[in-house]
């Protein structure tokens, strides 16, 4: 009985739960439905263009599309309207707006074409005026400067309607900028003066612009602008610019006379300061001959022949034998006699007697340092050809064009370590300042790049027998014997590259002994002293594959090199070497500056112009003068290939391990990173 009661109770509870669920469903069904988010509205679709509509209707559609930035659709509508042959008045408006649509879509050439197709007669004056302003702007942007200048002059002289003051200023401002870009500084000066007259006063920005523009005009162009009634400040700016032009053109007395007219004309600190600086420059210019160049070389004594060979290259570099119009350098020659005191005295003579703008030379270490110190004291630019580091550190007037030891070592190690993967080096060097100096640079450079110099052997520079030095290099006992014989010791070759910083005679003797003692399979490295024809005559067999630093390849096909080598061979009956090439490049730089339109008139200006040299073609590669006043030209690594020197090629490194270049370094000229 109890179980039946329990079942009835469960049935009643289930029925009650069902009733509750049904009630809930009824309540939910009567409630309002939840609101769904409205769909995002996209751009309204463009109505299909009815190209049969009248021009006025099509123009209205096009204008609407242009105002909403629908440039391509606007173009379609304007073209449809123009195809209906509208009146010139309407056509001018349509073409102006069509040009705006083309410009908005990035089609500036098409925009310019529409502006140039504007109807001349019967057009809307407002549209024609705006079209000419837009046309001149587009022509300037597209590099059509002459056309832009013509358009602006036309707008200035014959506008379709009178220009507002703002438009007049815009036209004159754009015209002056275009004329300056064309190098028409005299015309640009006149335009700026007209702009200044229109504004009624000289703003600081306009004053600066006028001074910069007029300062580049010729004296004749500026003289034609004088004599008209103008505010005193404008006349002061013009007179200052005229004085600068006369100074630049070499009329120093006239420049000083013109400058005197500026004094007291206006109270303007900027104009007064410029006048003071220019007066000092005129005073300095009277102390120099703007085309005079000095060369200081050992023309007597033990280095006389070398001095004469370099002198011939300098004469070619200055273009002394060329028949050219305009300013031509004049060369004054001084003999250092290979003596330091004489070199310093000759600097004074070139400065005082010949008023030179700059000096090339000397060659030797002692004479170069003495001449550099004196040149700095006299503040005359000097381009040293010395093959030692540090000459340019004598002061801001001292420059250096040479393949210094540091540059040579850097070039050799870039090739040997970065491209060929060499890590272990040995040095066989003369026991003198040259050998020990190069040895120290190599050891420091190798360590910096993560390598090691395992052995250094120094020999007597007067030695003619290198047996004992080679034996020491490869840990052989002293004595006379030939390897390969019974019981003969074996060389210990625990290095991958051998550096011999010496000339051809010593290198020939040393390498023959290396071959005798079976010291083979190592990379031979030399200095630029190796790059001499007699090395091939003395040691061709023993130096095959060696690497040598240089900057000059007489076999190059570059036109500037071909011309120099040909001219030098005609003059001296021999092929020029690196030293002559560097003398030629130094002279070539000075010739370039003296013949330029902005030729320096003072030694300070010559110094500044030298510092600004960038990528000037030279026989040793493009010439750039770096902030340390060094002629920064690419180092080329040469190798010995049978009976010739040639730049290293990637094939020369085949089969040799290569290491990645160190961060921040770049391959040398003629080298390809593998």
What is the Cα–Cα distance from 162 to 263, expressed in whole angstroms? 41
Q: Could you read off the pLDDT of 501-538 as tens digits, one per residue?
A: 999 999 999 999 999 999 989 999 999 999 888 899 99
Residues 181 and 267 in one domain: yes
Range of 357's domain?
292-400+558-632
Residues 458 and 536 in one domain: yes
475 within domain boundaries: yes
pLDDT at 482: 73
Residues 309 and 252 in one domain: no
* Mean pLDDT computed over 88-107: 95
43 within domain boundaries: no
pLDDT tier for residue 200 given thresholds of 50, 70 and 90 = low
Element (H, E) at 550: strand 547-550
Residue 3 has pLDDT above 60, yes or no: no
pLDDT at 656: 64
pLDDT at 43: 57
pLDDT tier for residue 655 given thresholds of 50, 70 and 90 = low
Residues 87 and 236 in one domain: yes
- Which residues share a beta bridge with 452? 424
Of 223-227, 337-341, 396-400, 435-439, the least confident: 223-227
Helix and strand element counts for the chain (H, E): 25, 14
* Cβ(399)–Cβ(610) below 8 Å: yes
* Cβ(618)–Cβ(560) below 8 Å: yes
Where does 421-500 show beta strands of DSSP type E? 424-430, 452-459, 497-499
Tell me which of 665 and 580 has the higher pLDDT. Answer: 580
414 within domain boundaries: yes
Which residues, including other chains, have CB under 8 Å from residue 551's CB and lie 6 or more apart? 403, 578, 581, 582, 620, 621, 633, 634, 635, 636
The CATH number for 473's domain is: 3.40.50.2300
Q: Could you read off the pLDDT of 352-394 as tens digits, one per residue?
A: 999 999 999 999 889 999 999 999 999 999 999 998 888 999 9
Report strand pairing: 424-430 vs 452-459.
parallel
> Residue 398: helix, strand or coil by DSSP?
strand
Report CA-CA distances (Å) from 518 to 292, 481, 542: 58, 12, 11
Q: Which of 550, 570, 595 is the last residue of a domain?
A: 550
Element (H, E) at 582: helix 578-595
Residues 120 and 228 in one domain: yes
Residues 394 and 409 in one domain: no
Residue 663 per-residue DSSP state: T
Helix 252-262 vs helix 269-285: crossing angle, to nearest 10? 160
* Cβ(360)–Cβ(587) below 8 Å: yes
pLDDT at 489: 86
Residues 356 and 502 in one domain: no
Determine whether 120 is exposed, middle or buried from the number of CB atoms within 10 Å of its CB (0-12, 13-18, 19+). exposed
Q: Which of 550, 576, 599 is the last residue of a domain?
A: 550
537 within domain boundaries: yes
* Average pLDDT in the chain: 87
The CATH number for 89's domain is: 1.25.40.10
Residues 275 and 301 in one domain: no
* Cβ(243)–Cβ(255) below 8 Å: yes
12 within domain boundaries: no
What is the Cα–Cα distance from 497 to 520, expressed in whole angstroms? 10
* Mean pLDDT computed over 174-196: 91
Give the per-residue SS3 of 588-656: HHHHHHHHCCCCCCCHHHHHHHHHCCCCECCCCCCEEECCCCEEECCCEEEEEECCEEEECCHHHHCCC
* Mean pLDDT computed over 464-476: 94
Q: Could you read off the pLDDT of 480-511 as tens digits, one per residue?
A: 777 767 678 889 999 999 999 999 999 999 99
Q: How many CB atoms lie within 10 A of CB 44?
A: 6
Residues 147 and 213 in one domain: yes
Q: Which of 257, 285, 313 is the last residue of a domain?
A: 285
Of the candidates 630, 603, 591, which has an alpha carbon nearest to the alpha carbon of residue 381? 603
Which residues, including other chains, have CB under 8 Å from residue 102's CB and lie 6 or more apart? 71, 75, 108, 110, 111, 114
Specify the number of domains making up the chain: 3
pLDDT tier for residue 201 given thresholds of 50, 70 and 90 = low
Residue 618 has pLDDT above 90, yes or no: yes
119 within domain boundaries: yes
**Which sign, positive or negative, has the C-alpha torsion 620, 624, 626, 630?**
positive
Residue 665 has pLDDT above 50, yes or no: no
* Mean pLDDT computed over 216-243: 87
- Which residues share a beta bridge with 667? none
586 within domain boundaries: yes
Residues 149 and 223 in one domain: yes
pLDDT tier for residue 349 given thresholds of 50, 70 and 90 = very high
216 within domain boundaries: yes
The top-scoring range by mean pLDDT among 43-57, 315-329, 442-456 is: 442-456
Tell me which of 486 and 336 has the higher pLDDT. Answer: 336
pLDDT at 669: 36
pLDDT at 284: 84
Torsion of CA 7, 10, 16, 22, to 10 degrees: -100
Residues 223 and 321 in one domain: no
Residues 395 and 444 in one domain: no
- Give the percent of the chain with pLDDT over 70: 89
> Residue 427: helix, strand or coil by DSSP?
strand
* Cβ(454)–Cβ(425) below 8 Å: yes
* Mean pLDDT computed over 222-238: 85
């Amino acid at each position: 009985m109890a179980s039946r009661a329990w079942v009835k109770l469960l049935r009643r509870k289930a029925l009650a739960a069902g009733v509750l669920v049904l009630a809930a469903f009824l309540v939910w069904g009567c409630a309002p439905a939840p609101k769904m988010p409205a769909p995002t509205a996209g751009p309204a679709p463009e109505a299909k263009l009815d190209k049969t509509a009248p021009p006025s209707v099509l123009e209205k559609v096009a204008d609407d599309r242009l105002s909403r930035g629908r440039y391509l659709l606007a173009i379609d509508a304007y073209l449809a309207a123009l195809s209906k042959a509208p009146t010139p008045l309407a056509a001018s408006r349509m073409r102006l707006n069509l040009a705006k649509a083309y410009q908005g879509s990035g089609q500036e050439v098409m925009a310019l074409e529409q502006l140039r197709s504007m109807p001349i007669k019967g057009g809307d004056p407002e549209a024609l005026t705006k079209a000419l302003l837009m046309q001149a702007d587009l022509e300037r942007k597209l590099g059509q400067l002459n056309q832009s200048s013509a358009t602006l002059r036309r707008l200035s002289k014959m506008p379709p309607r009178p220009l507002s003051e703002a438009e007049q200023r815009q036209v004159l401002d754009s015209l002056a900028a275009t004329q300056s870009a064309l190098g028409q500084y005299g015309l640009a000066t006149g335009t700026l003066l007209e702009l200044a007259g229109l504004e009624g006063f000289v703003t600081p920005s306009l004053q600066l612009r006028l001074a910069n523009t007029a300062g580049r005009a010729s004296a004749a162009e500026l003289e034609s602008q004088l004599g008209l009634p103008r505010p005193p400040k404008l006349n002061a700016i013009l007179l200052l610019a005229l004085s600068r032009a006369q100074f630049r053109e070499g009329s120093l007395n006239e420049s000083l006379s013109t400058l005197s007219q500026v004094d007291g004309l206006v109270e303007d600190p900027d104009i007064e300061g410029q006048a003071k600086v220019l007066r000092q420059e005129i005073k300095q210019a009277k102390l120099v001959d703007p085309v005079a160049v000095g060369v200081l070389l050992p023309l007597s004594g033990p280095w006389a022949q070398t001095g004469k060979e370099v002198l011939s290259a300098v004469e070619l570099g200055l273009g002394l034998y060329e028949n050219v119009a305009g300013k031509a350098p004049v060369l004054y020659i001084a003999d250092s006699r290979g003596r330091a005191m004489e070199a310093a005295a000759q600097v004074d003579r070139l400065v005082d007697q010949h008023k030179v703008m700059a000096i090339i030379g000397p060659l030797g270490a002692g004479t170069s340092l003495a001449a550099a110190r004196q040149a700095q004291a006299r503040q005359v630019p000097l381009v040293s050809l010395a093959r030692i580091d540090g000459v340019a550190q004598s002061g801001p007037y001292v420059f250096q064009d040479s393949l210094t030891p540091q540059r040579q070592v850097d070039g050799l190690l870039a090739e040997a370590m970065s491209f060929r993967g060499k890590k272990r080096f040995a040095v066989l060097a003369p026991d003198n300042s040259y050998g020990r100096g190069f040895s120290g640079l190599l050891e420091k450079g190798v360590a910096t790049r993560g390598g090691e110099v395992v052995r250094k052997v120094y020999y007597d520079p007067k030695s003619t027998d290198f047996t004992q030095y080679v034996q020491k290099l490869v840990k052989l006992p002293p004595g006379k014997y030939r390897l390969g014989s019974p019981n003969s010791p074996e060389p210990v070759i625990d290095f991958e590259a051998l550096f011999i910083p010496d000339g051809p005679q010593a290198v020939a003797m040393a390498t023959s002994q290396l071959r005798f003692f079976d010291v083979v399979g190592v990379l031979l490295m030399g200095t630029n002293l190796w790059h001499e024809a007699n090395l091939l005559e003395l040691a061709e067999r023993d130096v095959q594959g060696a690497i040598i630093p240089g900057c000059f390849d007489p076999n190059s096909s570059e036109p500037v090199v071909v011309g120099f080598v040909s001219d030098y061979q005609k003059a001296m009956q021999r092929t020029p070497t690196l030293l002559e090439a560097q003398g030629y490049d130094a002279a070539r730089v000075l010739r370039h500056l003296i013949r330029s339109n902005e030729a320096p008139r003072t030694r300070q200006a010559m110094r500044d112009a030298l510092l600004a040299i960038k990528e000037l073609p030279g026989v040793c590669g493009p010439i750039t003068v770096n902030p340390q006043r060094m002629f920064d030209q690419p180092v080329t690594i040469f190798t010995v290939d049978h009976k010739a020197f040639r730049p290293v090629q990637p094939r020369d490194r085949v089969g040799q391990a290569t290491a990645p270049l160190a961060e921040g370094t770049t391959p040398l000229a003629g080298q390809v990173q593998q």
